[in-house]
Amino acid sequence: MSTYVVTCSRCGTANRIPADKEGKKGRCGSCHGDLLPLYYRPVPLTDVTFDAFIKGYAGPVLAEFWAPWCPHCREFEATVVKVAGILAGTAVVVQVNTQENHILANRFDIKGIPALLLLKQGKIVDRLSGAQSSDAVISWFRRHR
């Protein structure tokens, strides 16, 4: 089974977490502190589920806003999946379908899609528009570390 590295924010130990523990809050094998829950795939969220999920995740959140009718969003989907895998254990990638979730689209003032928002503690740190390459998304993310 594949594993992902989740680095402990308290002691810096790299913990290997099996893929089947996705979404569960692990404990550091060294200091027993809470680890960020591992997510290695994008998590679909809605007007109903968004706030509780974001509140429960201590790390940075990349929120992609998209719609099923948008060809650029369909093209961007593979990149979003790839980025979620690359950032597994460091950040979570979430997806919001703006066609079904108008409250979130309005709240985050989404004017064009696909759009990526970087959130920390629920607040917008930056936005990235359009179907970018995974390299562009990752370097954009790392500029805000």
Number of separate helices (H) and strands (E) present in the chain? 4, 7
Q: How far is residue 19's CA from residue 81's CA, in Å, rounded to a whole number?
A: 15
Q: Are residues 36 and 4 in contact, defined by beta-carbon separation less than 8 angstroms? A: no
Q: Is 62 in the site for Zn ion (CB under 5 A)?
A: no
- Decide if 112 contacts 76 (C-beta within 8 A): no
By the rule CB under 5 A, 5 interacts with Zn ion: no
Q: Is 14 in the site for Zn ion (CB under 5 A)?
A: no
Among 5, 10, 52, 124, interactor with Zn ion by CB under 5 A: 10
CB of 33 to Zn ion, least distance (A): 5
The window from 31-39, 66-74, 94-102, 128-136 that contacts Zn ion (CB under 5 A) reads 31-39
3-class DSSP assignment, residue 34: strand
Binding residues for Zn ion, per CB under 5 A?
A: 8, 10-11, 13, 28, 30-31, 33
